[in-house]
Amino acid sequence: MKVALSALLLVTTFISHTAGVVHVHVTVTTTHAVSITDDLFVGVTLDSSLLPTPKHWGGLDLNSHKVRTLARGLSPCYLRIGGTAGDTLTFLPTGHGTVDSSRALTGATWDAANRFVQDVNWKLIFGLNVLKRKDGHWDPYNAQKLLEYTKAKGYHLAGLELGNEPDIFLGQHNITVSASQLGRDYYNFKKLLQSTPGYEKTPIFGPDMTSVTRSGKYLTDFLRAGGDKAVHGITFHHYYTNGHTAHLSDFTNTKLMDTLVSYIQSGIDVSRHTNPHTPLWLGETSSCHHGGAPGMSNRYVAGFLWLDKLGIAARMGLKGVLRQDFYAGTYGLIDHQTFDPLPDYWLTVLYKRLVEGAVLSVNTNHGNSTIRAYAHCTKRSTSYGYVPGSVTMYFLLPTDTTASINFPQFPGQHVDVFWLKPVDGLTGSSCCSVRNKHGQGSWWWSRSWRWKGSWWWPWG
């Protein structure tokens, strides 16, 4: 039987001046899981601003063989189409109407999105315009037109959202919708879907707030006013810092990484009073808001924040993490001009291929500022042949450290080694993927090694 232990290691520099070696001993609790993830845990997003016809999808060619091949590499996968622009859009089935084309979602564009999703085996979550309002309440008329069109075409929706970042509507749209009113809107939306043939069981996600810490009371009031009975997943967004002011050191700052723990805990604390069994999602997330940090959010160094986010979110029991964006901004997974895959794309592919199911507790003899470690059950894959009982581990070395990592509870195990390595440094946009096999024993990682980058290790 081929049993696997797997681990990914990310390191930060090529030349190390560290004297001595840090000896790290790793143990994994395999008798019980701390949480469970499925193969849809990691998803991606596209921004609603790409939808109006004049935008031409922002240059994204949905018919490109390269784009579709890369998208299939992430499947199965949720695609969330949403964003600030979503609360300005009107659905026009024929493309003709009194609405300006820059604020219109046409039937042709909707067809293109759904054909793409079907072809690449993705599942679509779509954000509806909650600012279609009448007498202080959400007006569902235009949304019903979209649902009727979708059903007539035979398209499937994996979920729906109602509005994007309502806690900052005043700044974004010069309007306010109270949390209590939004909760009632969601509740009425739920009843509408239940009475609409074909959508009776369609999941609703929300409220897609910008922050669960700054806007904790907004979430509480939303849930208490009816949102608790409407949502299948509680969503909020997360970014570590502002893309306009970010520094390279932010991407390996363990104190910044640790802020995600208290952030998610705030969401758990709020939701447990009304929705203790409703899963939490990072409904839109990346390294830096305002489109990402140029020259960093789409480069090799961004993998530290991204992989650590996946580890923390899985360990704390989140159901989904939707990466902003698959395309566009400076935090996309593919290049916005060439469509070439960027380093975080490969990191995401490896994660989705090697991780699924039980999330395990992992401990080391060093603090998480030296080495950050996570453990999961390995996904049963026809590609690699791993069997039930295999374990995947991944590590981040965010400081200038030479490390020897040992697994005393797994003596004599053989190891498959997967790693990503940067071709042109931390801020390089290129990387290569290598798979190799190593024998038993300890593994030494020094950031002075020219070839090192990130490693996935399934032991077998």
Amino acid 400: pLDDT: 72
Distance from C-alpha of 295 to C-alpha of 92, rounded to nearest angstrom = 38
φ, ψ for residue 421 (rounded to 5)? Answer: -130, 140
Distance from C-alpha of 108 to C-alpha of 100, rounded to nearest angstrom = 16
Coil, helix or strand at residue 128: strand
CB atoms closer than 10 angstroms to residue 246: 23
User: Token pair for residue 142?
Assistant: 């235009």
Bridge partners for 286 per DSSP? 239
Contact 173, 199 (CB under 8 A): no
- Residues annotated catalytic, as ranges: 165, 284
User: Token pair for residue 387?
Assistant: 């069997």
Query: Per-residue confidence at 290, pLDDT binned at 50, 70, 90?
Result: very high
96 burial level (CB within 10 Å; 0-12, 13-18, 19+): exposed
**Minimum mean pLDDT among 108-122, 380-394, 410-424: which range?**
410-424
Amino acid 439: pLDDT: 41
Instruction: From 299, 297, 304, select the one nearest 329 (Cα to Cα).
Output: 297
Residue position matching structure tokens 């040992």? 406
Distance from C-alpha of 243 to C-alpha of 331, rounded to nearest angstrom = 10
Distance from C-alpha of 239 to C-alpha of 425, rounded to nearest angstrom = 24
Q: What is the pTM of this model?
A: 0.92
What is the average per-residue pLDDT within 58-72? Answer: 97
What is the average per-residue pLDDT within 238-255? Answer: 95
Evaluate if residue 442 carries a pLDDT over 50: no
Q: What kind and span of H or E run contains 282?
A: strand 280-289
Higher model confidence: residue 413 or residue 256? 256
Q: What kind and span of H or E run contains 206?
A: strand 204-209
Per-residue model confidence as pLDDT tens digits over 68-124: 999 999 999 999 999 999 999 999 999 888 889 999 999 999 999 999 999 999 999
Evaluate if residue 24 carries a pLDDT over 90: no
What is the average per-residue pLDDT within 306-332? Answer: 96
Q: Per-residue DSSP letters for 427-454? A: T-S-EEEEEEEE-SS-EEEETT-TT-SE
Instruction: From 125, 124, 118, select the one nearest 72 (Cα to Cα).
Output: 118
- CA 352-31-38 angle, to 5 degrees, is 25
Bridge partners for 437 per DSSP? 416
Distance from C-alpha of 162 to C-alpha of 82, rounded to nearest angstrom = 9
> Would you give the end-to-end CA distance of the chain in angstroms?
8
- Could you give the percent of the chain with pLDDT greater than 70? 87
**Minimum mean pLDDT among 82-96, 206-220, 287-301, 388-402: which range?**
388-402
| φ/ψ bin of 175: left (φ > 0), alpha (ψ from -120 to 50), beta (otherwise) | beta
> Percentages helix, strand, coil for the chain, rounded to the nearest 5?
30, 30, 40
Distance from C-alpha of 388 to C-alpha of 377, rounded to nearest angstrom = 8
Evaluate if residue 452 carries a pLDDT over 60: no
Cis, peptide link before residue 207, omega less than 30° from 0: yes
